[in-house]
Amino acid sequence: MTWDTIVGLEVHVELATTSKIFCGCPTLFGRPPNTQCCPVCSGFPGALPVLNQQVIEYALRVCLATDCTINSLIRFDRKNYFYPDLPKGYQISQQHQPIGRGGKLVITTDNGDKAIGIHEIHIEEDAGKLIHDPQGKHTLVDYNRCGIPLLEIISRPDLNSAEEALDYLDKLRRLLLFIGVSDCRMEEGSLRADVNVSVRPTGSKVLGTRTELKNMSSMKAMALAIAYESRRQIKILTEGGRIRQETRRWDENEKRSFALRIKENVEDYRYFPDPDLMAIRINDHWIKNTRELLPELPDAKYQRYLTTLDLTAYEASILTSHPALADLFEATVAICGRAKDVAGWIMGEWLQECNQRACRPQDLKVTPEKLARLVRLLAEGDITRGTARQVFIQMIDNQADPDDYVHRHNLRMIRDIKTIDAAIDQAMAAHPRSVADYRAGKNKVRTFLVGQAMRVLQGKADPALLNRRLLEKLNTPD
Amino acid sequence: MNKPLPQPLIDPKQISRVAHLARLNPDEAERVLLRQELERILRSFDRLEWPDTRNTEPIYHPHPDTNRLRPDEVQSPFDPADLIHESIGQDGFLMAPKTME
């Protein structure tokens, strides 16, 4: 018997507001524990919440970008549960009248595009963070995260593999980044995905009992967890067992999941309307204004890069993976044209430097104006790629101006044949053994001799010209 | 139109479930008491079912006001340190009963 895997994702995304959802506490990440809380977010009796307007603005953007139907009247409900991460004893969420329903997100599969339904988007507050010390007698609680605004984006069970789930999450991450509502850093918990997995015999229309997986801190972990859970369920069912509806915790070290608790049903949370918060009316004018402020979405950008800028699918995909890259690319191309050259430089040297410096793309302080001039110098053959790299480092570290730096350090490419010939002669004279080896049939030695001749000219020779002249000289016996 | 008052029946399983959700572990005598009290509560709620509300809009809030919003600005009039008594704190964290084995 063959089995189909059915996956649905519940994505929690922390919104990039400067203050919390119901109080004025800051939302900075990584601060000392319990230094960003107040009576409202730590649940002191009598403290009253007031909704942050920016939360609604951001939520509207997400609903519009995912084609959700927006509710004209939304309310907040209390989700009651008892756990130390929740000082009030309830989480303010939206159960009955959420902000959006019925949207979609298109992913790319081997069989073409596939629309993944979005069941619902609702607003809620984040809970505190618990630290479980296996040796300690207590659980340590940090309430800084309490009251950070969250959107929960619930997909329909339309995903059929770990790959599709990853693509969905990646598409969603790009979308949220481009519309500027979250920094989507999984490692800091600002984008978290709970995964519902079930299996059913191929061809069956009935959904199997699902389990919910938690605690995946990276895309890779999520893929492993889905594949593991699917195999685990198929094994149980094949052996005649039954799947329990439960929440399971992914253990990154052991690469397996463990039952965490029997899944509570919705009635166990005893939802009821929060009497401390007023309803919010969202009129057409508000929606229209928000729609007009939406930037070009990453899918549209990707298509434009393919069709009007002639980039490859790979180039377009990388450049639309983060708004900082797309903004830099477009601003630079607007100055110098040369979309292919700019794309090549950003995807190569720019990202390589970010990688080496362990920083984000936007952290390299090089303006599009300067980058455009560097790309032009390289593309027009005024400097070699090696020189361009050297100049680029100076641009990052010392805010060097590329034209000025090249001029002052005499870095323009050498195309004078006499100078190049002299450098080749010098290299050949210094390495007669290599010359003899080449002439005896060891072609690989040529690369070494190119390097030696280039070294004589401090890496500034026109590489094509140098190569051609060296070949001519090597093939001409003394 | 008044509806007849139904007799709520709470079986021992439901008592166990409510106790589990409330993280309580009542003994047999307490279970009897809990059952009586819960049935009294349910009967009180049943009184709310008496009026016919089929054509009445539900009221979520006694006040009709909407869109009470505040700008996204940081305002910290409290010193968080004042919120945590040293007897329940450790290195800035609050200490709660152990939640994981």
Nearest CA in chain B to A279: B66
In terms of domains, do A219 and A355 share one?
Answer: no
Does residue A425 share a domain with residue A389? no
CB contact under 8 A, B83 and A37: yes
Residues of chain B neighbouring A141 (CB-CB closer than 8 A): 93-96
Do A404 and A433 fall into the same domain?
A: no
The mean pLDDT value for A318-325 works out to: 96
Inter-residue contact A274 to B68 (CB < 8 Å) = no
Q: What are B49-85's pLDDT values in tens digits? A: 888 888 888 888 878 888 899 999 999 777 877 777 7
pLDDT digit string, tens, across residues A167-189:
999 999 999 999 999 999 988 88
- Give the residue carrying structure tokens 């907040």: A76
Number of structural domains, chain B? 1
Average pLDDT over residues A118-126: 98
Nearest C-alpha of chain A: how many angstroms from B19? 12
Instruction: Name the amino acid, one letter, at A440.
Output: A
Chain A interface, best mutation among B14, B18, B67, by max A CB count within 10 A: B67
Select the residue of A38, A139, A277 nearest B76 (Cβ to Cβ): A38
Answer yes or no: do A141 and B67 touch at CB < 8 A.
Answer: no
Residue whose pair of structure tokens reads 């100076």 in the numeric block:
A394
Residues A42-76 have pLDDT tens digits of 889 899 999 999 999 999 999 999 999 999 999 99
DSSP annotation of A71 reads P
Closest C-alpha to A371, from A409, A344, A407, A410 = A344
CB-nearest partner of B80 from A18, A35, A53? A35
Quote the mean pLDDT of chain A.
Answer: 93
Residue B25 lies in a domain: yes
Both A42 and A97 in one domain: the answer is: yes
Contacts of B60 in chain A (CB under 8 A): 75, 273, 279
**pLDDT tens sequence across A5-47:** 999 999 999 999 999 999 999 999 999 999 999 999 988 989 9
Residue B100: its pLDDT value, please? Answer: 65
| Statement to judge: residues A311 and A341 lie in one domain | yes
B37 occurs within a structural domain: yes
The token pair at A371 is 């980058």
pLDDT at residue A350 tops 60: yes
Specify the CATH number for the domain of residue A446. Answer: 1.10.10.410
Q: Which ranges of A294-367 does DSSP label H, i.e. alpha helix?
A: 298-307, 313-319, 323-336, 339-345, 351-357
Find all residues with CB under 8 Å of A138, minimum gap 6, and list them. B90, B95, B96, B97, B98
Which pLDDT does position B1 carry in this prediction? 47
Provide DSSP, A372-400: HHHHHHHHTTSS-HHHHHHHHHHHHHH--
Model ipTM over 0.85: no
Tell me if chain A has a CB within 8 Å of the CB of B58. Answer: no
Which residues of B fall within a CB distance of 8 Å from A129? none
Average pLDDT value for residue range B2-30: 80
Distances in whole angstroms, Cα of residue B57 to Cα of each of A104, A174, A254, B61, B73: 32, 42, 54, 12, 36
| B3 band by pLDDT with thresholds 50, 70 and 90 | low
Q: Is A423 among the domain residues?
A: yes
For residue B7, what pLDDT is reported?
57
* Domain hosting residue A223, numbered range: 3-285
Other CB atoms within 10 Å distance of the CB of residue B101: 5
Q: Which range of residues forms the domain containing residue B40?
A: 1-50
pLDDT per residue as tens digits for the range A257-290: 888 877 667 778 899 999 999 999 999 999 999 9
Would you list the DSSP string of A17-46? -SB-SSS--B--TTPPTTSS--TTTTT-TT
Q: What is the pLDDT of residue A235?
A: 95
Q: Which of A74-78, A148-152, A412-416 has the lowest mean pLDDT?
A: A412-416
Rounded percentage of chain A residues whose pLDDT exceeds 90? 79
Number of domains, chain A: 3
Does the CB of B59 have a partner CB in chain A at under 8 Å?
no
Is the same domain home to A231 and A300?
Answer: no
Does residue B5 have a pLDDT over 80? no
Q: B12 in a domain, yes or no?
A: yes
Is B101 a residue whose pLDDT tops 70?
A: no
Same domain, A136 and A237: yes
> Does A290 map to a domain?
no
